[in-house]
Amino acid sequence: MRYLLFLLASLILISCGSSRKNPPSRIIDRPIVFDEEREQLSLDYMKERYGLEQEQPVIEPKMVVLHWTAIPTLERSFEAFKNPTLPGARTEIAGAGNLNVSTQFLVDRDGTIYRLMPETTMGRHVIGLNHAAIGVENVGGTPETPLTEAQVEANIWLVRYLKSKYDIQYVIGHHEYTNFEDHELWLEKDESYRTQKSDPGEEFMAKVRAATADLQFKPLPEPVRNETFPLIRDIVEDYEKYKENTLEERRIKHEDILPLIAKWKDHELFEVNKVGTSIEGRSLNLISVGSGDTDVLLWSQMHGDESTATMAVFDILNFLADDSFQQEKQELLQNVRLHFLPMLNPDGAEEFQRRNALGIDVNRDALRLQSPEAQSLKRIRDSLDADFGFNLHDQSRYYNAEGTEKPATISFLAPAYDYEKSVNDVRGNAMKLIVQMNELLQEYASGNVGRYNDDFEPRAFGDNIQKWGTSTILIESGGFPDDREKQEIRKLNFLAILAAIFSISEEDYKRAAIADYSKIPENDSKLYDLKLTGLQYELLGDQYILDLGINHSEIPSKGEQKFYFRSNIADQGDLSTNYGYQAIDVSGFSLKPGKIYPQTLPNLKAAEKLDFSDLLSEGIAYVKVKDLPKGQNYTNYPIIIVGERFRAPEKIEVGMNPTFFLQKTGESGYAVINGFVISLDGSAPKIENGLIIRN
Ligand SMILES: [Zn+2]
């Protein structure tokens, strides 16, 4: 009996011992090509990415990383890893070396485990951690081939097997790898080399973790968060406190900002210098703050009618001078020196026009330098040799983020510095900052960010300043629903610019991936103020279906209002690829021309007594007035005032003022007066403004 027991014990010992020396029968060796080329590429990778110089591409396993191949079959999965070099299609990681990807293990859908390479040879399967990670790929992971229970079981078995052989401290899913960015195991040197992963998913990891809890792996490190964003979110909560209340609409002039410039000149924090004079003699002022080595130059309103960022700049100055966030600002101003040049084109601002007094576009004067405004900007850029530049503009409110109905409220551009649109470090850093600003803006205006066309323009400032070595970012403020005066957009400027400034200070932007820049949707020009879809239109006795795109154009005015609206039909026909700030489906409604009120009124005052609700319900859109007031082109009446000889238009066409009715049997219908829709449901009619048309 004792002898038998001894024999049994020996057998157990022998079998245990042998399992440590030979692979357990469960593992099938199916080696990928690991020739001299792959060995050399692996050594190069370790040296380039991790700074590790070794004789052999061996690893010290500290973690197991679980993956899926996103390929439905074993054979095709194996093919993906087999060869030493990356297939041409994998451009997103090719920049980080030509070594093909591979893991040490591949698990088929039935749970069969294949070993593709020696367990302690480095495979390329997880950024930053390959020198310490054994990888396990699972065949499948497409929507049609979710990972199987057999694979869960095989992964659990493998984790236990590897833990018994090596000092494994972590078991992670590939989607969790960025949690290690600040971990001592993380060796990747390029802060922007990241790819987004979702494999093998939370559910799979939860099952493996639950079944291996007894092995007491270390918990996943806390994910590394962007350090700038939480601060900016806090600051923005108090935005109203920083908002410069003396500027509350777009049409700001030089005289509006002079008191603010004088105020900051007297403030101990700021240094204010007059750095130039416009053609008409208005001062250009540079407001500088901070003592850091990194110079950041921001200029706004190079185009006189693009004032959104000018307002935001003064909000930022208020924030900097406020007594909140003292410690954060102190740190910021030790790292950077900020230079603000608000309203570079004050002569244009005076008329709220794009061009300067010479009638030129200052943004096409970077080479010829004819205008004093352009000369000043060039001189300041050169004297500071600024590290970063912010070129702050406004763009058309009719731009949308490509493929969506969302206005491109903020569009970014890292301008090209050559026709080939090359990316060097200077432009690359601008792109990274944009990637970060976009990410933050999505929290406040989801889907409202666009990317401006990056064709090289040799005469433009942004392109040249990029070329001269300043990382340059163009910010364009577009439109936003219910925000004609751009006060919401101004706030978005405030937070995006502040985020960029703090990111520059902390060098946080270096974490961003340049590849994400091109994921920002391009600007498109598919928006109208009003889109009417599917209306019935009769022409020469036949019926047609039309969509109308209508824009509410602003006309400057010297009256009590600074502008009024004169709408126009921007396009008509099939507008199914267009969008509207306001979009109304008027299918089944027939377009009826507006009628003229039968009486001619002596003067405009007499129109006050009209019941506009009545008139509109009778299909009357025009009222003739004998004595039209000189110089006045609009009224607050929801109707069109016309001269005695006026004749109502008989057809609609592109360019004309959209004034008509939409009728449908059994429905109250709509009036469209000067491009504004009035629902004829009995409520008091109200529009932005009516027009006076003289003949
Ligand atoms: Zn502009």
- Residue type present at position 144: E
d(CA 102, CA 119): 12
Ligand 1 centroid distance, CA of 402 (Å): 20
The 10 Å CB-count burial string (b at 16+, else e) for 615-625 is bbbebbbbbbb
List CB contacts of 489: < 8 A, sequence separation 6 or more: 308, 409, 410, 477, 478, 479, 480, 483
Backbone φ/ψ region at 136: left (φ over 0), alpha (ψ -120 to 50), beta: beta
What is the reported pLDDT for 90? 74
What number of H helices and E strands is found in the chain? 17, 29
Q: Report the DSSP beta bridge partners of residue 556.
A: 563
Largest CA distance in the chain: 129
Q: Which residue has the tokens 């500290």?
A: 62
- Say whether both 507 and 375 belong to one domain: yes
Angle at alpha carbon of residue 631, lines to 623 and 655, rounded to 5°:
65
Express each pLDDT in 392-445 by its tens digit.
999 999 999 999 999 999 999 999 999 999 999 999 999 999 999 999 999 999
Please indicate, yes or no, whether residues 565 and 616 belong to a single structural domain of this protein: yes
Number of C-alpha atoms within 13 angstroms, CB side, residue 575? 28
ipTM reported for the complex, 2 dp: 0.92
| Residue range 641-664: mean pLDDT, rounded | 95
Beta bridge partners of 563: 556
| Same-domain check for residues 495 and 537 | no
Same domain, yes or no: 86 and 199: yes
Using the mean position of ligand 1's atoms as its centre, give its distance from the Cα of residue 420 in Å: 23
The single residue listed with the structure tokens 């004067």 is: 365
3-class secondary structure, 294 = strand
pLDDT at 225 (0 to 100): 63
Task: Give residue 394 CA to ligand 1 midpoint distance, Å.
Answer: 5
Where among 465, 489, 524 does a domain terminate? 524
Question: What is the CATH classification number for the domain harbouring 95?
Answer: 3.40.80.10
Report the pLDDT value the prediction gives residue 183, as an integer from 0 to 100.
84
Beta strands 634-635; 620-627: pairing state: unpaired
CA 405 / ligand 1 centre spacing (Å) = 23
Catalytic choice (37, 476, 485, 608)? 476
- pLDDT for 40-99, tens place per residue? 999 999 999 999 999 999 999 999 999 999 999 999 999 999 999 988 767 667 777 889
**Measured in angstroms, how far is the CA atom of residue 45 from the centroid of ligand 1?**
45
How far, in Å, from the CA of 371 to the mean position of ligand 1? 16
Q: From ligand 1's centre to the CA of 578, what distance in Å?
A: 24
pLDDT for 259 equals: 98
Q: What's the domain count of the chain?
A: 3
How many whole angstroms separate alpha carbon 155 and alpha carbon 124?
A: 19
- What pLDDT shows up at residue 501? 98
Q: Is residue 224 part of a domain?
A: no
Centre a 10 Å sphere on the Cβ of residue 339 and count the other Cβ atoms it contains: 23
676-679 and 640-642 beta bridge pairing = unpaired
Per DSSP, which regions of 395-541 are E strands? 400-401, 410-413, 449-451, 471-477, 523-524, 527-539
Tell me the mean pLDDT in the region 186-198.
80
Active site residue 476: yes
Whole-number Å distance, alpha carbon 514 to ligand 1 midpoint, is: 25
Residues 520 and 535 in one domain: no
627 and 508, same structural domain?
no
Q: How far is the CA of 261 from the centre of ligand 1 (A)?
A: 22
Q: Which amino acid is at 199?
A: D
Sign of the CA dihedral running 89, 93, 95, 97? negative
Question: Do 56 and 69 share a domain, yes or no?
Answer: yes
**How does pLDDT run across 14-29, given as a tens digit for each residue?**
444 444 444 557 999 9
502 and 637 share a domain?
no
Structure tokens at 465: 């300043």
Distance, in Å, from the CA atom of 565 to the CA atom of 298, rounded to the nearest integer, reads 33
Measure the CA–CA gap between 473 and 457, rounded to whole angstroms: 15
CA distance 375 to 373: 5
More confident: 648 or 194: 648
Domain that holds residue 617: 527-693
In a domain, 597, yes or no: yes
Q: Is the dihedral of CA 650, 656, 661, 664 positive or negative?
A: positive
Residue 512 — very low, low, confident or very high, per pLDDT cuts 50/70/90?
confident
Q: What is the pLDDT of residue 452?
A: 96
- For 35-51, the three-class secondary structure string (H helix, E strand, C coil) is CHHHHHHHHHHHHHHHC
What percentage of the chain carries pLDDT values higher than 90? 85
Cα(361)–Cα(475) distance, rounded to whole angstroms?
A: 17
**Final residue before a domain boundary, out of 182, 215, 248:** 215
**Distance from Cα 363 to the centre of ligand 1, integer Å:** 8
Q: Mean pLDDT lowest for which of 260-269, 538-547, 556-565, 570-579?
A: 556-565
At which of 500, 524, 548 does a domain end? 524
